[in-house]
Chain A
Amino acid sequence: MPLLEVRGLTRFFGGLRAVGNLTFSVEEGEIVGLIGPNGAGKTTVFNLVTGFVRPSSGDVRLGGESIAGKKPHAIARKGIARTFQIVKPFPHLSVKENVTLAAFLRHRARADAEAAALALLERLGLGGRAGKLAVELTLMEQKRLEMARALATGPKVLLLDEPMGGLNPSEVGLASELVESIRRGGVTVVLVEHVMKAIMRISDRVLVLHHGERIAEGAPAEVVKDPAVVQAYFGHGVA
């Protein structure tokens, strides 16, 4: 049984179909890349899976249990964590407090939550920043803070929305290694990303979305050669 299953997921915004009849599944321990041109519906898929947007129809299952239509906090408790494309830290709280708040989901006592938070910050290379306010961090550090906070909720599946957007090439390399280390830590990863080099390198499987529908799926090297994908990105006459 796949860990995460999306079946016939559809969402309309007024007359616009942002996601249409989307079906895919993710096995435990995989890194799956979700790519597609701007406006393809990638972030909407994340919002649907994490409960920030209710599906018009279709189902989302985690470990066989339906979670579609549940509130975001309930889905986080079930074991799906996410980061946001535009980072959403708790800006005027310390870096440590940002992660501690998330760790409260699995630890009742403040001391335990703080210890878990500090360990995660250490692991993500933010140990020296624990006492700073989140708003004082650089963009790369804020993206890492988003990851630390998501991991602190103890997820089975982590959804990363453009974790490398806006980073320079060497930062992208570090971020790729980080994603792989998260997987080695036993967390299944689905990521939306525009930095192709990175997504091709780290993904086991890539899913291509266009106008809210899946147009291709498979190993990274095969997907990039798919005529439908090339056409979606570059238009007619190129392939």
Chain B
Amino acid sequence: MRGRGALAAGFIALAAAAAVPLVVRNSFALHLCILVFLWATLGEAWNVLGGFAGQVSFGHAALFGLGAYATAILYLRAELAPWWGIPLGGIAAAVVSIPTGLVAFRLRGPYFSLATLAVAELTKLVALNWEWATNGPTGFLITSLPTLHLFGISVDWEAKAPFYLSALAMMGLAMGTAAALSNSRLGSFLLAIRENEDAAEAVGIDTVRAKVLTLALSGFLAGVSGGFYAFYFRYIDPDAVLNLGISMEMVFIAVVGGLGTVLGPLVGAVFLTVVGEEVRERFGAGHLVFYGLFMMLAIRFLPEGIWGRSRKLLARLSAREARHAAPRG
């Protein structure tokens, strides 16, 4: 009942958001929305592993960058259109994450986190040095996009609307995945792993398998986001897509929005993208100071995240209303 209601609400919200480009013509506003959708997808990708299963990765930029590189290389070297290349980029990231997870998940807690950091830095070094595959520090420039006719209309890649709709669909996929996961057996197992890994094993949960599956899912979503990034910004290099900053931003978005919640990363992405752009405009180079301050305040005063806290308040309100309504029958 609750699941079906949430599903319907989600579809209505997505449909409403899809209509926005019909009304809003301001390309900066659409650009901000695209950034929010992209970061919300990335936050969601990180959240299924970090929030649900409690496995804190500091290296998700590697999966994002892998998707970006795979998609760009497939396009530039094999002329594979982005609508095939982006899902393949996601699959590439998922496939690579399986053996990586099998090794890294032998470690727990902070040791796992440090291992993910090391893997990401290693990936960046590989991208910088395997010039035959990656162009090294020069990166890839995507100068033109393939023509695409949809419903008899030729898609205008210079406009924001096609990217807006793709990013929205991508975020819908990520949130749908997270919602399905949170209602599944695997999702329940992930909570058990987050709560106490030994106890989870003791009751028969194959913790390594659950974690590796989740990492692959998370890697797919991060890889798809990377592919989208490559075609939206049309330029990638190791510093742009394999930066430690990207890994950290994904963590922040999930934490600020609400760890282990489905809507949290969207809320976190709205706040961090909008606040980030706003302070960048006002304070120029000093903006990181304010960004850092905002992060500290959010973690100090809202440890469950903005959405995590709101959800609790809403539950309390509706419980109170139910009590007041009760005497009337």
Contact = CB atoms under 8 A, between A and B. Distances in A.
Interface stretch (B31-39, B41-49, B145-153, B193-201): B193-201
B192 A93 contact: yes
Contact of B196 (A73, A90, A102, A152): A90
Give the contact-size bracket for chain A: 20 to 34
Contact of B192 (A101, A108, A110): A101
Interface in B161-209: 185, 188-189, 191-192, 195-196, 198-207
Contacts of B188: 97, 100-101, 104, 110
A50 to B, nearest CB: 7
A89 interface: yes
A127 interface: no
Contacts of B205: 73, 101, 104
A77 B209 CA distance: 15
B204 A91 contact: no
Contact of A93 (B191, B202, B203): B191
A54 to B, nearest CB: 14
Contacts of A50: 202
B215 to A, nearest CB: 18
Interface residues of B, number: 17
A7 interface: no
Contact of A71 (B185, B198, B206): B206
A187 interface: no
A73 B207 contact: yes
Contacts of A72: 198, 201-202
A91 B192 CA distance: 9
Nearest to A101: B192
Interface in B237-270: none
Nearest to A146: B199
A153 interface: yes
Given A52-B198, A84-B198, A104-B185, A90 B204 contact: no
B202 A105 contact: no
A11 interface: no
A82 interface: yes
A149 interface: yes
A118 interface: no
A152 B199 contact: no
Interface string A64-90: 000000011110110001101000111
Interface of B: 185, 188-189, 191-192, 195-196, 198-207
For the complex of A and B, list the 8 residue pairs with the smallest distance between their C-beta atoms, beginning with the closest. Answer: A90-B195, A76-B204, A102-B203, A105-B204, A72-B201, A88-B199, A73-B206, A101-B192
6 contacts: A84-B198, A90-B195, A90-B200, A91-B195, A101-B188, A101-B200
Given A91-B196, A104-B185, 5 more contacts: A50-B202, A71-B201, A76-B203, A88-B198, A152-B203
